[in-house]
Amino acid sequence: MEHELENIARWIVKSMQGKLTPGEERQLKEWREASRENREMHDRIVRGNEVGARYSLWNSLDEQRALDNVLHRVRRKRTWRLLPHAAAILAAACVALWMIDGQEPATDARPAGTREVELVLGNGERIGLAGNKTDRWQLDNAELLLQDSVLSYRATGEAAAGDNTLVIPRGATFIVSLSDGTRVHLNASSSITYPVTFAATERRVILTGQAYFEVQPESNRPFVVETAYHAVSVLGTAFDVRAYPDEERMETTLCSGSVAVSFPGGDRYTLRPGEQLLFRAREAKVEIKEVNTSIATAWMDDNFYFYNNTLEEIFTELQRWFPVEVVFVNDSKRDRTFSGKFSRFKDMETILNVMRKAGVEIEQEGEIIRIE
């Protein structure tokens, strides 16, 4: 319930601010249309300006205390039987989240050391893509447009025109809209290789790292995401794939629709919405479980979301965003678990201080972080 409330409140706040991603807009619409109660609750908050009316109640509170207070009230109320009371609780959550989001620095800030996203053309030519610029290129059978940090392809011919590769550096994310209309959100330290125009029978891309796919439906031409260990096949859906070469665990998380995950040995698994396939390369072990999909996709909202992750997993993730090097002085600390949610645009020291308060012994000298 806590995760559900926080997600809904965030979507409503971001819709008021005009900042919803396409995936979030779809999820908010699905929640709103799921029941009459949901529609009435949404409309009561938005039309009744419940958020603005309650701002003064929360203005003097610490942002995390405000959100914790709301979630505590929800824990005590197991069901939302009374619509006005439920709307008030959700509206209060919106206020807390509005305050939290409003206090973040501008989202065009990037950690020191960030490089430009790089586009590698089929002939080997490399083009630096600055997200704040607008540019246009003409390739064989395709036109490329860079606008508002999105690179879009528009097919101008039917014949295939070779492959392109996008390389996302540390401390950056990027969006590419492929020639079929599929939208791919790429996380830091990732790359994707794809045809400029797709073949007639299949749409196949190669991913290293992490990406969220919003696949344009085509019943006669499946979309395939190939990684080092498996392939994810879909016709039209939204899902997240995490397959970094320096991690022994690979994750495929389905948000909507259906996907099939295939392995070289012939094993094939079908996922339902809300399920995650976890593959551990060292043991060649597959596990499928129900998850809170907002954890897997938190990076798309510029957040780190750790839930019972080991310190080794956490600091591997942080190193993809911040220009730091992490050293485990005590190897036994690698498997210690920690949970927490942070904006990616908080400075590194803020995150480390929270972890220190949780009992993690951390020393930092410049760009070197030591876990004692």
Domain boundary residue, one of 273, 295, 317: 295
Domain boundary residue, one of 60, 79, 102: 102
Q: Is residue 111 included in any domain, yes or no? A: no
- Is 290 in the same domain as 335? no
- Is 135 in the same domain as 283? yes
- Is 276 in the same domain as 225? yes
- Is 76 in the same domain as 135? no
- Is 307 in the same domain as 276? no
- Tell me, letter by letter, the H, E, C secondary structure of the chain: CHHHHHHHHHHHHHHHHCCCCHHHHHHHHHHHHCCHHHHHHHHHHHHCCHHHHHHHHHCCCCHHHHHHHHHHHHHHCCCCCCHHHHHHHHHHHHHHHHHHHHCCCCCCCCCCCCCCEEEECCCCCEEEECCCCCEEEEECCEEEEEECCEEEEEECCCCCCCEEEEEECCCCCEEEECCCCCEEEECCCEEEEEECCCCCCCEEEEEEEEEEEECCCCCCCCEEEECCCCEEEECCCEEEEEECCCCCEEEEEEEECCEEEECCCCCEEEECCCEEEEEECCCCEEEEEECCHHHHCHHHHCEEEEEEEEHHHHHHHHHCCCCCEEEECCHHHHHCEEEEEEECCCCHHHHHHHHHHCCCCEEEECCEEEEC
Q: Is residue 109 included in any domain, yes or no? A: no
Q: Is residue 110 included in any domain, yes or no? A: no
> What is the CATH classification number for the domain harbouring 309?
3.55.50.30
What was the pLDDT predicted at 20?
67
- Is 205 in the same domain as 247? yes
- Is 318 in the same domain as 272? no
What was the pLDDT predicted at 16?
62
- Is 16 in the same domain as 159? no
Q: Is residue 152 included in any domain, yes or no? A: yes
Residues of the chain with pLDDT under 70: 1-6, 10, 13-14, 16-23, 44-115, 131-132, 158-161
- Is 194 in the same domain as 74? no
> What is the CATH classification number for the domain harbouring 253?
2.60.120.1440
Q: Is residue 353 included in any domain, yes or no? A: yes
Q: Is residue 156 included in any domain, yes or no? A: yes
What was the pLDDT predicted at 218?
92
Q: Which domain range does residue 327 map to?
A: 302-371
- Is 258 in the same domain as 122? yes
- Is 290 in the same domain as 307? no
What was the pLDDT predicted at 108?
41
Domain boundary residue, one of 271, 295, 319: 295
Q: Is residue 112 included in any domain, yes or no? A: no
- Is 198 in the same domain as 95? no
Q: Is residue 148 included in any domain, yes or no? A: yes
Number of domains within the chain: 3
